[in-house]
Each structure stands twice: as structure tokens, then as C-alpha cells.
């Protein structure tokens, strides 16, 4: 027997379109893209996390609000998770070029290092190399204090923030409504309690 659905007090629920196919297909998610944020001009980019998206440009668009709607941001970039090459020196042998990467034209790779477990990978610079493996090997060679992991991303695979897009975050400091503290809930409660005492 089909029971009546619970009626929501939220009027929006009653207006949602009826769909013929309420069961979700398993594993239907978009693939992932990694998001890197520069919190202020001149600071290194930090890895913030992934977004799901149908392509690189959509990933950039969705990453902007998913990761930079609260705290200061001066620039943002995204890359397909498959384009982020990782080398963990404690666990892996030094990377060597595979057949595909040998055919590559040299490029510039953004290099990131993970120096603390559970923290974000942070950009340490850029390296010219003929392949991601070579970029990782060079980053390893130039490094004195060994991190847990090196990341290398070919710049050609990155969707950067264009110069005219740097005003995306201009009004962010004004958006106090996204910060719970700005509502001064504690102060208002205290005033209410004092008044009713």
C-alpha cells in the first residue's frame, strides 16, 4: 500500500517539478577537478579540494562559489584530477618518463608540496620540464626538506583566472551575511536575557 508522503511545511517543496524517474542511477556523477586558491596577491596557491563538473570551464565556474565565497581570494585555478601528477617520495620510486610523456613538447609545471599530513598542498614554484615525471623528479632533486608529496600540473591543462576576472572577489569583504558572527546572535540573546530578568 502506498502511504501519503509527509507534507512539508516548506512551500517550495510542494512546487518542485514531478519527475518520472525518481531513482538515481548509481555512479552517475561527473568526474572531478582539483581547485587551487590564492588567498591574497603574492601568496602561494593552496589546494582546497575537488569539484564535480562536466568539463574544465564548468569546473572553474562551480569552484568559484564552492571554495571562494567566504574568505578572501585573489585568484583561483582548476585542473582535471587526472592532470595532477603526484609523487610521494617515502612510498614510491623516483618517477621516470613513460612512452606518452616522452612524446610531449616541453612545458611549465606548477609544483606543489604537501609538508604536513592532513594539511593542504601548497604551491612552491614552477619548473620547466619535458614531462610531468621529469618535473616531479626535478622538484625532488631541488628540495632539501623532503615533503610527503610533490604535485606537478602542466600549465596548459589549467584554467587560470584571467586578468579581467580578478574583480570576481571585489565585494567579498562586504558579504558579512555569510559570517555567522556578523549577526551578533550572542549579544542579542544576552540583551534579551538581561531585559527579561
Partner 1 sequence: MTALKELLYKIADDQLIIGHRNSEWTGFGPLLEEDIAFSSMAQDKVGQSYALYQLLNTLGEPPPDTVAFMREASLFRNCQLVELPNGEYDFSLVRHFLFDTAEALRFEMLIQSSHIPLADLARKIRGELRYHTLHANTWIRQLGSATEESITRLQQSLEFALPYALGIFEPSPYEDALIDQRIFAGEQALYTRWQEVVEDVLRPTQLSLPAWGSITPRLGGRQGQHTEHLTSLLDEMSEVFRIDPAAEW
Contact set with partner 1 (CB under 8 A):
11-12, 15-17, 30, 51-55, 57-58, 61-66, 69, 164-171, 174-175, 177-178
* Of 51 and 152, CB closest to partner 1: 51
Distance CA 160, CA 77 (A): 5
**Residues constituting the chain:** 197
Nearest approach, Cβ of residue 122 and partner 1 (Å): 24
What nine digits make up the cell of 149? Answer: 608529496
Nearest to 151 by CA among 114, 108, 96: 114
**Which strands sit side by side in the sheet containing 158-159, from one edge to the other?**
84-87, 149-154, 107-114, 122-129, 46-52, 32-38, 75-80, 158-159
Would you tell me how many other CB atoms lie within 10 Å of the CB of residue 158? 20
In angstroms, the Cα distances linking 4 to 9, 12, 20, 135 are 15, 18, 17, 61
Which of residues 47 and 64 has its CB atom nearest to partner 1 in the complex?
Answer: 64
Least gap, CB of 195 to partner 1 (angstroms): 12
Is 61 in a helix, a strand, or coil? helix
Q: With respect to partner 1, which residue has the nearer C-beta, 21 or 105?
A: 21
Minimum Å gap between C-beta 79 and partner 1 is 16
Judged by beta carbon, residue 55 or residue 125, the one nearer partner 1 is 55
- Widest distance between CA atoms in the chain: 78
Nearest distance, CB of residue 148 and partner 1, angstroms: 28
Q: CB of 159: closest distance to partner 1 in angstroms?
A: 11
> Closer CB to partner 1, residue 63 or residue 129?
63
Amino acid at each position: 500500500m502506498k502511504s501519503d508522503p509527509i507534507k512539508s511545511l516548506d512551500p517550495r517543496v510542494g512546487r518542485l517539478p514531478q519527475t518520472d524517474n525518481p531513482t538515481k542511477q548509481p555512479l552517475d556523477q561527473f568526474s572531478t577537478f582539483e581547485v587551487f586558491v590564492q588567498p591574497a596577491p603574492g601568496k602561494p596557491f593552496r589546494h582546497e579540494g575537488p569539484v564535480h563538473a562536466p568539463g574544465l570551464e564548468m569546473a572553474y565556474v562551480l569552484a568559484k562559489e564552492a571554495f571562494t565565497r567566504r574568505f578572501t581570494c585573489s585568484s583561483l585555478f582548476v585542473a582535471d584530477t587526472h592532470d595532477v601528477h603526484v609523487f610521494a617520495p617515502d612510498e614510491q620510486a623516483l618517477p621516470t618518463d613513460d612512452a606518452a610523456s616522452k612524446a610531449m613538447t616541453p612545458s611549465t609545471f606548477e609544483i606543489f608540496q604537501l609538508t604536513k599530513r592532513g594539511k593542504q598542498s601548497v604551491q612552491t614554484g614552477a619548473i620547466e620540464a619535458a614531462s610531468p615525471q621529469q618535473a616531479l623528479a626535478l622538484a625532488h632533486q631541488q628540495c632539501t626538506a623532503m615533503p610527503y608529496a610533490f604535485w606537478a600540473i602542466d600549465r596548459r591543462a589549467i584554467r587560470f583566472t584571467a586578468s579581467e576576472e580578478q574583480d570576481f572577489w571585489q565585494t567579498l569583504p562586504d558579504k558579512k551575511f555569510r559570517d555567522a558572527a556578523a549577526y551578533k546572535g550572542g549579544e542579542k540573546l544576552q540583551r534579551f536575557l538581561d531585559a527579561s530578568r
